[in-house]
Homo-oligomer: A and B are copies of this chain.
Amino acid sequence: MAEPVHTHAAILSIGDELVRGQTLDTNSKLLSERLMLAGIEPVEHGTVGDGLVGIVDAFKRLSRRAPLIVATGGLGPTDDDLTREALAGVLGDELVEDAVALGWLTERLRSRGREVSPAQRRQALRPAGAECLRNELGTAPGLSARIDVEGHTADVFCLPGPPGEWVPMWETMIAPRLRPEAGITVRTRFINVVGLPEADAAALVPGIMARDASPQVGITASGGVLTWRIRYRGTLAPAEADRAVEAVARRIYDAMGKHIFGEGEASLASCIVKLLRARGQTLAVVESCTGGMLGHAISAVPGASWVFAGGFMTYSNEFKQRAVDVRAETLRAHGAVSAECAGEMAFGGIAKTGAAWCLAITGVAGPDGGTAAKPVGTVYIALARRDAAAPLGESQNKKFEFPGGREDVRQRSVMSALAMLWFALKAGDPPARLLWEKS
C-alpha cells in the first residue's frame, strides 16, 4: 500500500450512548481543532452505535472519504466494546493478544492492587496487522492500522473515549505520525472581542470575510464573546504566511481597539485576573440573581486568589442589608432590582472586603418575578471603585434587558459585568453602549 498523505481527515465516534443522545460527543470537536492546527482539514464527523456491522461499514465508507480516520470509543473491556473486532474485520485479520499491551494492563492494575480479569484482558487484543498504542491514563490501549478498501488507503487511529485519556496519546503518539500535505503552510489565529454585536464587528472591517480571501477570516459568537478566526492554508513560505496573517490581524486590531481582550483560549475572566494582578488590584463581587456565577467565573481562573478579595451571594433582601449594608429605605423606594440597590451593593462590597473594585448584579432572571415595569431579563449592574470619591456616575451603573431564559439572563449578566470591568480597566470609560444595554 502507498503511504497516504493526510490531506484531509474523517472522525468517527463510536457508542450507543452517543448515537442515542444520552451523552454529548465532544471528541469530534476536540479532534477537529487538533487536525486543523496540524494543517489537515476534517471533512466529516460520523457517529455510530456499538453494533459490529455499523462500525465496519463506517470504517469502510470513511476510507473512501479521507486518507486519515481518527476514531474514539469502543475499546473498553465490556461486551459492547467492538472497535477492535470491527477493525479486524476491515483488515481481514484475526485478533491476537499483544504481549506488550498485556504487560501495560497488568502493571497498571497491579499498581492499584488488582488482577487482570478476563474482561479486562480483552483490551490487550489487537488485529494481527495493527499496533497497540499505550494509554498512560486508562486501561484501554489505542490501535493504529493502515486499511485498504477497494484501492482507497487510509491510516486509522482508534483511541479510547475519555478525552483525559486520548489527549495525551494524541500529543505523544498521533500528532508525530500525521503527514499533512508537503509544501503547505498552515497558520491559525483567534482574536477575542467583547462588547460588540457580530454584525457591527463585521461592518467595522469591510470585505475582510470575502469567501475567496486568503487568509480566510470568519467570526464565531458564543456566550457574549466574538472570536475572529484567521486561517491561512497555502503554499507561502512560513515567514510570508506569518506576515499575511499579521496584516489581517492588524486590520482587526485597528478596528476593534479596546474591544479585544485576548487571543486563543483566553477567557475574559482570565484576562481580567491577569490585568488586575499586574496592577496589584483586587476585586470583590456582590451577586443577587447570579447567585455565585460571577465568582465562579473569576475563581475558575488559576491564580485567581491573587486578585479575588471575596464576594457575597445576596439572594434575599434581608441578606442584602445584613451582608453589604443596602439600606431598607432603598429597597422600599426602588426595590432590589434597581440602579440604586446595585450601587449600594457595589459600594457595600468594597466597604466589606477592602477590594479596589467591586461588581454588583441584581435583576430578574426568571422564570417568575417579572413585572410590567421590570420584566424577566431586567438586570442592573454596578461597578464601584475604592478610590472614587464621587458618587456613582451613570457609566458605572448600567441597566440591561437581556433576552432568553433564566440561564441565558444569568450568563449574559456575568459577561456584561466582566465587560464593564474590562473597559473600565482598559480605558477608564466604557464603550458607547454594551450589547442589550438600555439607556
Contact = CB atoms under 8 A, between A and B. Distances in A.
Nearest to A405: B164
A21 B49 contact: no
A220 B23 contact: yes
Interface in A289-341: 289-300, 302-305, 308-316, 319, 322-323
A211 B50 CA distance: 12
A302 B54 contact: no
A385 B127 CA distance: 59
A216 to B, nearest CB: 10
A313 B295 contact: yes
Contacts of A292: 285, 287, 292-299, 311, 313
A273 to B, nearest CB: 12
A362 interface: no
Given A45-B45, A310-B323, A315-B308, A21 B25 contact: no
A32 interface: yes
Interface residues of A, number: 79
A17 B368 contact: no
Given A26-B24, A28-B25, A299 B290 contact: yes
Given A32-B21, A220-B23, A309 B302 contact: no
Number of this chain's copies in the assembly equals: 2
Nearest to A292: B295
B298 A291 contact: yes
Given A20-B32, A308-B291, A316-B308, A48 B54 contact: no
A97 interface: no
A338 to B, nearest CB: 17
Nearest to A45: B47
A406 B44 CA distance: 33
Given A211-B79, A292-B296, A302-B368, A36 B23 contact: no
Interface of A: 13, 17-26, 28-36, 41-49, 54, 61, 79-80, 164, 211, 218, 220, 222, 229, 285, 287, 289-300, 302-305, 308-316, 319, 322-323, 352-353, 366-369, 404, 406-407, 410
